[in-house]
Amino acid sequence: MPNRTARALENVVARDLEKKFVLLSGPRQVGKTTLGRSIMSARRGLFLVYDDADDRQEILRKRYVHRNWVCLDEFHKFPRWKAHVKGVFDKHSPDLHLLLTGSARLDIYQKSGDSLLGRYYLHHLHPFSLGELQAPCLPDLPDPETLLTPSSAGKAGFEDLLRFGGFPEPLFSQSVTEHRRWSNMRKSLLIQEDLRDLTEVKLIRLAEHLMELIPERIGSLFSANALAEVIQVSTPTVLHWMEIFSRLFIVFKILPYSRSIGRALQKQPKYYFWDWSQVPDEGARFENLVAGHLFKASRQWTDIGAGNVDLFFIRDRDGREVDFLMVRDGHPWFLVESKVADTAIPHSLVFFSNKLNIPGILLVQKKGVSRRQGNLLVTSADRWLAHLP
């Protein structure tokens, strides 16, 4: 696999910077800094890192405002970043093309009393996916026929993604040793720095214990009560920590879909890892990889304005369940079920595909599988996931 550094979002972010400033949010070590440097380098722009003492003075004294293209990296660490950016943008736009990169705090502040409304675009940088490895560009929303038409051959990179995850450093190293070292280092940073910023120090060990229990529950209905009993904390505490893990891009949550579904499950969510390589069980890791691809597609299509796309799962009180449902502009769009090797079409996939009158896709980890049955497709994941960004 080539050491690809170009990201599908790069041209999109650069284009949006011509009109407004851009917030680029995403997990640690997903490539935000690399993308920001690339955009600035191509335009002879200025790249400043908030963690650097000299750069920080440049930022706080607003010496950068007379440059045309500027990236402020890790800017979420500045406590008053919103007021700073609002003043700079209102005074110097449209001559200043300003990119801010940072962690989940950009999302947190974006959701509450947004004084920056109308001044920015928000983009989320996700780990590499199979589609992005094939071509660093964002594909259009696929039509129903495209969804039911897999590639004629499997795409390179699928096995590497499944084994090493989609974060650039371990993925392109293709080394089990380097992947292990990277994983340990990232976990240490998340706990020692990020988690300490958002919770009480005395509770860090208990939160770490909760984090260690999540892999065996990937893809299952999440029970905060059960985990609270194991860790010996309250249920609200578990829910609070899961929200923090989501903010820190450790996990993401998928909710059950209930509209148009009689007797649908309406409460318990499911959680998946951003870094699916941390899931030891093969079947759960494959399901997590599929979830990561669909979640990335839903966020990026929404970010670029292609449509309002959301990811759900379906489960009714009669026990019928499908792993994933993509919803476009409020309407069910297509269903996805994941299996390691079983190519028999599940009854639940048939049932919900017929009920909602939408395509149903069964993705299997097994290679060389491709068959269509009306509005249903059974195919190898490495032949289909490249439809997604």
Residue 83 CA to residue 70 CA, distance in Å, equals 17
Here the tokens at position 210 are 């909760």
Pairing verdict, β 309-315 and 321-328: antiparallel
Residue 107 CA to residue 247 CA, distance in Å, equals 8
Whole-number pLDDT of residue 154 = 74
Whole-number pLDDT of residue 182 = 97
- State which amino acid sits at residue 255: L
Residue 21 CA to residue 209 CA, distance in Å, equals 39
pLDDT in tens, the chain (389 residues): 544 667 999 999 999 999 999 999 999 999 999 999 999 999 999 999 999 999 999 999 999 999 999 999 988 888 888 889 888 988 888 889 999 998 766 655 555 455 677 789 999 999 999 999 988 788 788 888 889 998 877 788 999 999 999 999 999 999 999 999 999 999 888 887 777 766 665 678 888 899 999 999 999 999 999 999 999 999 999 999 999 899 889 999 999 998 866 665 667 899 999 999 999 999 999 999 999 999 999 999 999 999 999 999 999 888 899 999 999 999 999 999 999 999 999 999 999 999 999 999 999 999 999 999 999 999 999 999 998 99
Whole-number pLDDT of residue 59 = 93
Domains of the chain, start order: 9-124 (3.40.50.300), 130-387 (no CATH)
The C-alpha angle with vertex 292 and arms to 151 and 325, in degrees rounded to 5, equals 75
Phi, psi of 63 (to 5 degrees): -75, -15
Residue 375 CA to residue 228 CA, distance in Å, equals 42
Dihedral, CA atoms, 308, 309, 311, 313, nearest 10 degrees?
A: 90
Phi, psi of 325 (to 5 degrees): -130, 120
Q: Are 342 and 334 in contact (CB under 8 A)?
A: no
Neighbours of 181 (CB within 10 A): 14
- State which amino acid sits at residue 173: S
Please, which residues have CB within 8 angstroms of residue 102's CB and are 6 or more apart in sequence?
Answer: 23, 24, 25, 32, 74, 75, 76, 77
Please, which residues have CB within 8 angstroms of residue 100's CB and are 6 or more apart in sequence?
Answer: 21, 22, 23, 24, 71, 72, 75, 76, 81, 85, 106
Residue 352 CB-density burial (10 A; 0-12 exposed, 13-18 middle, 19+ buried): buried
Burial 57-66 (b: 16+ CB within 10 A, else e): ebbeeeebee
**What number of residues does the chain have?**
389
Whole-number pLDDT of residue 266 = 63
Q: Please, where are the H alpha helices in the chain?
A: 9-17, 32-42, 53-60, 81-92, 105-110, 130-134, 144-147, 158-164, 168-173, 176-189, 196-198, 204-213, 224-231, 235-247, 282-303, 347-356, 381-384
Q: What is the pTM of this model?
A: 0.93
Locus of tokens 């440059």: 67
